[in-house]
Amino acid sequence: MQRFKGIAPYITAICICIFVSFPAVAQSVVLDEAYSAVLVRGNIPDIIRGAAIDVHPPLYYLILKVSQFFGGESLLKYRLVTAGGTYLNLLLLGATLIRKRWGCRVSILYILWFGLTYSTLEKTTFLRMYSWGAFFVTGAAIFLFLYYENGKKRDILLGAVMTLAAMYTHYYAVISVFLMWVILLLAVFLKKRENTKIVLLGGVLVTIGYLPWLKTMLAQSMKVADNYWIASFSWSRWGAVPAALTESSDAPLTGIGAALYGLLIMLFLFGFLRKKWEALLCVAVFFGTMLAGALFSVLVTPIWTSRYMYVGWGLIALFVAVTAGTVTGSFSNISQGLLVFLLAMVGAVSAKVMLADETMNSDAAAWVDFLAENVDETARLIIDNPSEHDAVFKYYLPNAVFVFTEKLLTQDIEDGLETFLTENKGSQIWYVIDYRQQRIGTDKIGACLEELGYTMETVDSFIIKYKSLEVFKVEEKGNEQY
């Protein structure tokens, strides 16, 4: 029985790892994912420069790049490498470190909460840095906590490594780990003063380790302060973040998220009444990160979006697990069993939502096949979509040439189009419209092409995530082959 207890968290973690991996087969690539995949086609200095031009640190892209050395570009591989953050989180942190420190119950509750909520299912295989960010932030929190408890230098060293990795992964992670170090410094100063020097030294080492990126971070902050795509800040959305993270980041708050938010509030109350200080500290770091994001958004420029807070989702999972899992009493089995049952329900709902989502439920596979079978590698495409979406098309067709209708519109449309058609005579030309974010419409471009002596024939249509595409073949009159 004792032996089973030891392996139960590993069995749970492995099952959850398999569960969260099923969206890895998805072939729809949304804009942010396409940005990651296209960026890592460059060499390492290019990736670092590219990340510096954008608004995120480079570590995640470098992880993808390393995976690219083994067998080139593959969407499935990228998705599984991204999922590596969640695997490590569940196996190394959940089933190993958390089990050793807090026991099996806490370990299993951590794994279930973290793994079964929808945001993990959504972000585990999503080609962005969130799963790795969550791993590094939670890892830093656990190692720093272990150092506070045991005073082992190995723990603070690992904590510092995790901290640096988190800081090179996401800027919300920078806020989280900063708060952790401040809390640790205060705690050792008040209770274990003999360790203050080590903590200060650790902090200095982390700062030195981050110096190479500090200048870039400041430049990125200024760039963001000048202009950032995120819409204005709303306190109601901000307040709903813990609920939003249990659901799809695309949908408004629903019953499941609200119920789990209610559960979190109740657990917070019980944690307070039962003096589960380590659990409450997790909430403090999560909430402090939220607050910092909100203050920056209100005082400087909106940088608030709920999915960024996913980097702290492991802290919330740890808070839930420690609060509910460390209760010992005659009836604790019932409440813990009920929580496990509730989380199983959450997992079932998460799976159902994911299966209905366009990530899984789209024509992406047919779209990929269509491109492979019909579109020349060096084809010319006129795209009716915002031009910032070029990464999506670049991802699917790395060597094709794109022109966006909204760019054509900035010139005299017919001149722009005429020049494009003249320059690309003899090449295969396609027109692709995304009906969800079109800029000109088929009638207008059709009329212009007609006037210039071209025809436009519809070939096929596809729904991929966030896009409803129709593909037309453009040919000179008299040369139609399709």
273 sits near another protein (criterion: CB under 8 A): yes
Q: Which is nearer to another protein, 185 or 263 (CB)?
A: 263
256 sits near another protein (criterion: CB under 8 A): yes
**In whole angstroms, what is the distance from residue 342 CA to residue 375 CA?**
48
Q: Which is nearer to another protein, 205 or 263 (CB)?
A: 263
247 sits near another protein (criterion: CB under 8 A): yes
Contacts of 173 (CB under 8 A, 6+ apart): 133, 136, 137, 166, 167, 311
Amino acid at 136: F
348 sits near another protein (criterion: CB under 8 A): no
Least separation in angstroms between residue 43's CB and another protein is 37
Q: Which H/E stretch holds residue 174? A: helix 171-191
Burial of 304 (0-12, 13-18, 19+ CB in 10 A): buried
Least separation in angstroms between residue 347's CB and another protein is 13
463 sits near another protein (criterion: CB under 8 A): no
Q: Which is nearer to another protein, 185 or 230 (CB)?
A: 230
Least separation in angstroms between residue 107's CB and another protein is 20
**In whole angstroms, what is the distance from residue 24 CA to residue 77 CA?**
9
443 sits near another protein (criterion: CB under 8 A): yes
Q: Which is nearer to another protein, 221 or 468 (CB)?
A: 468
Q: How far is CA 18 from CA 80, 352, 460, in A?
A: 11, 16, 35
Least separation in angstroms between residue 338's CB and another protein is 5
User: Within 10 A of 465 (CB to CB), how many other CB atoms are there?
Assistant: 20
User: Within 10 A of 72 (CB to CB), how many other CB atoms are there?
Assistant: 8
Question: Do 233 and 297 touch, CB atoms closer than 8 A?
Answer: yes
Maximum C-alpha span of the chain: 87
Beta bridge partners of 460: 471
Site for another protein in 215-234 (CB under 8 A): 231-232, 234
Residue-level length of the chain: 482
Q: Which is nearer to another protein, 218 or 355 (CB)?
A: 355
342 sits near another protein (criterion: CB under 8 A): yes
Least separation in angstroms between residue 405's CB and another protein is 12
Task: Note the residues at the interface with another protein (CB under 8 A).
Answer: 118, 231-232, 234, 237, 247-248, 251-252, 254-260, 262-263, 266-267, 270, 273-274, 324, 327, 329-332, 334-335, 338-339, 341-342, 345, 349, 352-353, 356, 435, 438, 441-444, 468
